[in-house]
Amino acid sequence: MSDTPAGDESPWDAAFAADLIGKTLLIGLTRLDASGSVVEQVQLHGIVTEASPDLGITVICQGDNLGEKFRVPPDLSAIVAAEPGSYRLTSTGEVVVDPDYTTSWTIQSPLS
C-alpha cells in the first residue's frame, strides 16, 4: 500500500486520517457541464467511517441522505476544520450545527 494516493504529490497523513474517523464532514459538490457552466450544487453531511489512501474518505450520510455511503477522493488537503456555527444546506434546507470538517469538490463533465 502506498503512502501517496495516485495523482497526489503530498504524502498521506495517517495521523490526520485516523483523527477523521467518527467526525462529522460537511461535503459540497458543484457539478459543471463540459463548457464549465454550473449544472448542480449539492451539499451533504455525515460521519467519517473510513480514511484510506487507496479508497478515499468514506462517509455514512446523516439527514436527508441518512444511511447512504458517500466517498470523496483521498486528498486530505481538501479537508479543513469547520468554523463553529450553523450551516444551512441550500440543496436540502437542512441545518448542520458545528460540523468538525468541511470539504468542497468541483466535478466537470468531459468534452464530448
pLDDT surpasses 50 at 4: no
Looking at residue 110, its pLDDT comes to 86
Residues 70-95 pLDDT 10s: 999 999 999 999 999 999 999 889 99
Cell numbers representing residue 44 in the block: 451533504
Residue 11: pLDDT band (50, 70, 90) is confident
Looking at residue 111, its pLDDT comes to 80
Residues 27-60 pLDDT 10s: 999 999 999 999 999 999 999 999 999 999 999 9
pLDDT surpasses 80 at 7: no
**Cβ–Cβ under 8 Å, residues 74 and 5:** yes
Give Cβ neighbours of residue 45 (< 8 Å, ≥ 6 apart): 24, 25, 26, 27, 59, 61, 62, 63, 89, 94, 96, 99
The domain spans of the chain are 14-108
**Cβ–Cβ under 8 Å, residues 17 and 76:** yes
Report how far residue 36's alpha carbon sits from residue 109's, in angstroms, rounded to the nearest whole number: 8
